[in-house]
């Protein structure tokens, strides 16, 4: 009898565990979605003004978003500015994630090429200093 009782309470604890899991997953999903929404609208949806390219902690240059340009970043990749949109091509990294990133145009949006340490970031009005 006591064995069955502990079995039952054991089952209860197990059930609670899964309930806790679901709560944890739901909270994490909610937090990440809210953060995502915050970063996407973080630049207040304003069109950016400049494109800043950095390699490591060194700023390679700032380019106007309004003028079409093609910037070679140390032979590692090319940043293409066209019609107020920025994308990355000709990258030398393995997974080509930076090139697959959709073009960016709003302040605060960023394309990162992690293997090369290159960050392409749009700056402009209403941009937060740090988007966390």
Partner 1 sequence: MSTTKKIALTGVFTALAVALSYVEFLVPITFVPVPGFKLGIANLAIMAALFFLGPFEAAAVSALRLVLTLFLFSNVNAFFYSVCGALLSLAVMIIIKKTTFFSEIGTSVSGAVFHNIGQIALASLILKGSGIWYYFPALMLAGTLTGTVNGLILRFASGPLGKIFKTSGVQTGQ
Enter the tokens of residue 61: 């240059």
Q: What angle (nearest 5°) sits at the alpha carbon of residue 35, between those of residues 127 and 17?
A: 165
| 113 near partner 1, rule: CB under 8 A | yes
d(CA 120, CA 87) in angstroms, rounded, equals 9
Residue whose CB is less far from partner 1, 86 or 113: 113
Q: What are the DSSP calls for 56-104, one per residue?
A: TTEEEEEEESSS-EEEEETTTEEEEEETTEEEEES--SSS-HHHHSPPB
- From the list 41, 89, 95, 125, which residue makes contact with partner 1 (rule: CB under 8 A)? 95
Rounded to a whole number of angstroms, the minimum distance from the CB of residue 29 to partner 1 is 6
Secondary structure letter of residue 110 according to DSSP: E
| 24 near partner 1, rule: CB under 8 A | yes
| 38 near partner 1, rule: CB under 8 A | yes
- From the list 6, 28, 61, 82, which residue makes contact with partner 1 (rule: CB under 8 A)? 28
Residue whose CB is less far from partner 1, 17 or 68: 17
Asked whether the CA dihedral 106, 107, 108, 114 is positive or negative, the reply is positive
- From the list 46, 101, 103, 126, which residue makes contact with partner 1 (rule: CB under 8 A)? 101
Rounded to a whole number of angstroms, the minimum distance from the CB of residue 76 to partner 1 is 13
Question: Where does this chain touch partner 1 (CB under 8 A) — which range of 2-10, 18-26, 61-69, 74-82?
Answer: 18-26
């Amino acid at each position: 009898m006591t064995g069955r009782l502990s079995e039952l309470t054991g089952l209860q604890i197990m059930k609670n565990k899964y309930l806790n899991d679901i709560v944890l997953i739901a909270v994490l999903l909610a937090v990440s979605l809210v953060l995502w929404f915050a970063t996407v609208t973080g630049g207040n949806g304003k069109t950016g003004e400049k494109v800043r390219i950095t390699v490591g902690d060194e700023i390679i240059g700032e380019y106007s978003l309004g003028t079409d340009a093609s910037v070679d970043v140390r032979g590692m990749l090319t940043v293409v500015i066209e019609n107020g949109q920025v994308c990355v091509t000709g990258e030398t990294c393995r997974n080509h994630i930076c090139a697959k990133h959709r073009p960016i145009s709003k302040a605060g949006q960023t394309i990162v090429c992690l293997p090369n340490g290159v960050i392409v970031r749009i700056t402009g009005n209403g941009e937060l200093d740090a988007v966390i």
